[in-house]
Amino acid sequence: MTDKKTVTLDRGWGILLKDLGIEPENVLRRAQLPRDLVTQEQARLTPQDYFRLWEALEVEGDDPALAIRLGQAASPEVFHPSIFAALCSPDYVTAAKRIAQYKKLCAPITLTVEELPEGVRVTKQWDDPTLVVPKLVAATELVFLTQIARIGTREQICPLKVESRHSLEPTEAYKSYFGVLPEKSNKHGVTFSLRDAKRPFLTASESVWETFEPDLQRRLTKLDASAP
């Protein structure tokens, strides 16, 4: 049964790891998880199991800048439907708001989108404040929030500000990717200028969005109904 406290693991995980030259079976074995996990249609994991998977991935990946490689290797084939639908948005602001609306279908995470005088700030927070989020997870989320803007616009957009509760190292690799030096903060998030956040997405498609939205809404309603 669907549970708001679990994380969805799509088949795209297996594709992503293969593209990076990492054997999914080795990662799953190290994480002490079922060998067929990444071949299931939509596997559900507790946050603890999910984090253990990422810790195993960090060891098997053996790369200090693995989060950047993960973000850059992301393609439509590995996206959850809600992310793919977000790429159909007219711009980053709309895409971020759509991801925020449907993020619960993927994981117990709250995405907050703030339109500020200096730009648009997007922050992520796991719903359970007691969870200790691995650095690789947090770093990959920040890379992903940036990569969405670059995929949509086909421009090398750089955020004005990157915030993380972790010290992201190697520092130069992250500075080179983001275009700014990540700052230590009590939040995980990125801030884009208003100009960049409202750049037209070349991937925009209202007809595709209209196809995806009813199913996403149906899933969200079903998830809400299953909550105690």
Distance, in Å, from the CA atom of 4 to the CA atom of 110, rounded to the nearest integer, reads 12
Q: SS3 of 120, please?
A: strand
pLDDT of residue 137: 93
pLDDT of residue 225: 61
pLDDT of residue 114: 96
DSSP secondary structure letter of residue 201: P
pLDDT of residue 79: 66
The region, left, alpha or beta by phi > 0 then psi within -120 to 50, assigned to residue 62 is left
pLDDT of residue 228: 44
Q: Running along the chain, 228 residues long, what does each successive block of 10 average in pLDDT?
A: 72 84 94 89 88 95 93 71 83 94 87 94 93 92 94 96 94 96 95 97 91 84 63
Contact assessment for residue 53 and residue 31, using Cβ atoms and an 8 Å cutoff: yes
Distance, in Å, from the CA atom of 116 to the CA atom of 220, rounded to the nearest integer, reads 28
pTM above 0.85, yes or no: yes
